[in-house]
Amino acid sequence: MGFLIDFNGTKLLFDPFITGNPKPGPIKAEDIDSDWILVSHGHGDHVADVEPIAKQNGNKIISNYEIVEWFGKKGVEGHPLNHGGKFNFDFGTVKYVNAIHTSGLPDGSYGGNPGGFVVWDDKNCFYFAGDTALTRDMELIPMTCPTLDFAILPIGDNFTMGYEDAAIAAEMIQCDVIIGAHYDTFGYIEIDTKAAIKAFADKGKKLLLPGLGETIEL
């Protein structure tokens, strides 16, 4: 995992996982230039590089209360949110939304409940689902947030929804452009990417699968 989104000039880093990643890609943690780090839940493959990157870049994190507290003890400041809550930051609004998953932190600490983020300003809006099952709660997003330009959804199955369920999620959130996440990193979640693209195309949706280290414009 790990996505860096240049959101109208503010660089938002989501769930950085480079150290210990079986497929780390070409980008090194020390080369990442970010303004904020958003952490969806406490699992090691989402928090691995949060502390060093936050310290090198002087970033604060945005996450649930328990994860913000945990990083606070390591000297990383943060802004806590809880489910259903939103806050207006200088770059835009962030809402912490429901995810069906677990959230234990690497040292066994309680990581609160997992979530996803909807981020918007007056021009754009996107949804970063984090790790989640398909859930009807996703239908609340188009009811309560601006129209989505794109969404980042897990598609790897086993630990999250697979691509078939993610294609249904794309319908629930009323979003036509989906970036696939949480697949192919390790054995349990290797998928047939052609079949995944077709599952979305069959519903009139576009599934984008950028390569490691690849930058795309949306």
Binding site for Ni ion (CB under 5 A): 43, 131
Least separation in angstroms between CB 42 and Ni ion: 8
Least separation in angstroms between CB 180 and Ni ion: 16
Least separation in angstroms between CB 40 and Ni ion: 8
Cβ distance 76 to 61 under 8 Å? yes
Per residue, what are the HEC states of 66-105?
HHHHHHHCCCCCEEEECCCCEEEECCEEEEEEECCCCCCC
Q: Please, which residue, 101 or 205, has the CB nearer to Ni ion?
A: 101
Cα dihedral sign for 184, 189, 190, 194?
Answer: negative
Q: Please, which residue, 83 or 206, has the CB nearer to Ni ion?
A: 83
Least separation in angstroms between CB 50 and Ni ion: 14
CA-based nearest residue to 120, from 14, 2, 216, 8: 8
Amino acid at 166: A
Residues in Cβ contact with 198 at an 8 Å cutoff, skipping those fewer than 6 apart: none
Q: Please, which residue, 80 or 115, has the CB nearer to Ni ion?
A: 115
Q: Please, which residue, 35 or 131, has the CB nearer to Ni ion?
A: 131
Q: Is 176 helix (H, G, I), strand (E, B) or coil?
A: coil
Least separation in angstroms between CB 24 and Ni ion: 18
Q: Please, which residue, 7 or 112, has the CB nearer to Ni ion?
A: 112
